[in-house]
Amino acid sequence: MFTSVALAFMLTNIWIMKSEFSKKLVKEEVRRIQFEAPVKLPMREAQEKAIARLREEKAIINKAKEMGFTVSQDEVEWLFNEFRRLFPTDAEFYKFLKKQHLDEDEVRDDIARDILMFKVLDSVAKTIKISDDDTVKRPYEVRYREIFIYSNPYEPKGRRISKIAKAWWIWLRLKLGADFCKMAEKYSSRSNRERCGDAGFTSYMPTSAVRMHAWRLKPGQLSKPIVTTWGITIIRVEEVRGGEPVRFGDLPWRLKRLVFMDKVLEKLDQMLSE
C-alpha cells in the first residue's frame, strides 16, 4: 500500500507536470516521440519521456537566452521553406501538417526553438578539444547476425500472419539446436544472407527496433521474432565490446564522432546544472 507521504508526493508530481506544460504541448511531444520511436511505447512511458524532453528543451532555451543567442525571422523562414521543399507539392506539405495536427505558426515556433538549441550545442562543441593522444573510453559496440523475413506492409493480412508464424517456427528450431547460419542461408530474405560466415552486422547506437533488441541481449542470446513494418527479424548477438580506455587517435572515425558527441552532452549537462 502507498503511504500517505508517497501518495502526496505522487499527486504533487502529477500536478507539477500538468501545470508546468500545457496539455496540448505534452500531447504534441508524445506524438513526436511515438513517431520517432522504432517500436510503439506504452503511453505512460511516452508521457514521461515527453515531460523529460520538454524540461530539457526549456532548460537549453533558457541557457540560450542567458548566453545572448537570438533567432531572426530570416533564419526561421529559410528553414521553414527548406522543410516545405521536402514534399513533392504544397498540397502534400499541408496534408502532412493536418495529419500531425499542426499549423504553419506552430512549425515556425518549433524551428525557432530548434535553432536556439542548435546554437547552444554548437557553442559547446567549439569548446571541446580532444587530441589523438588523449585517453578516452571506447564506445560500446554490439555485433549480431540476423535472419530476416521480408513482409510488405501492404500485403494481405493472412500472408503477413503466415510469415510471422514461419518466423516463430524458425525461432523454435533454433532454440532446439538448429544451426543459425544454415537457417539464415535457407530462410533469410536478404541478398547478403551469405554473410553469416563473416563479420555480421555491427551497431554503435540502438537506432531501430532490431538494434534496440540487440543492445538488450548478451553474447550468445537469441531474440524472439521482432515484427517491424517491413519484416520479421530474429537476431543472435555474437559480441559486445567497449568501455575500455583507448587512445583517441586509434579509434575509427565513426567512434571518434560518438566520443565527441558524449563530451558535448556531458559539458552541456554541466552548464545546465550550474
For 121-131, what is the mean pLDDT? 91
Higher local confidence (pLDDT), 42 or 37: 42
Is residue 195 scored above 70 in pLDDT?
no
pTM above the 0.75 mark?
A: no
For residue 274, name the pLDDT band (cuts at 50, 70, 90): confident
Residue 3 pLDDT > 60: no
pLDDT of residue 109 exceeding 80: yes
Where in the chain do CATH 3.10.50.40 domains reside?
A: 141-241
Residue/partner pairs of 111-117 with CB below 8 Å, 24 or more apart:
111/76, 111/79, 111/80, 111/83, 112/71, 112/76, 113/57, 113/61, 115/71, 115/75, 115/76, 115/79, 116/60, 116/61, 116/64, 116/65, 116/69, 116/71, 117/57, 117/60, 117/61, 117/64
How many whole angstroms separate alpha carbon 96 and alpha carbon 220? Answer: 43
Residue intervals in the chain for CATH 1.10.4030.10: 4-128+268-273
CATH architecture of structural domain 141-241: Roll (3.10)
The CATH superfamily label for domain 4-128+268-273 reads Porin chaperone SurA, peptide-binding domain (1.10.4030.10)
Return all residues near 160 (Cβ < 8 A) that are at least 6 apart. 151
Output the pLDDT for position 123.
92
**Residue 168's pLDDT is what?**
95
Comparing 123-132, 200-209, 264-273, the range with the smallest average pLDDT is 200-209
Query: Angle CA(262)–CA(263)–CA(268) in degrees, nearest 5?
Result: 95
CA proximity to 271, closest of 154, 128, 107: 128
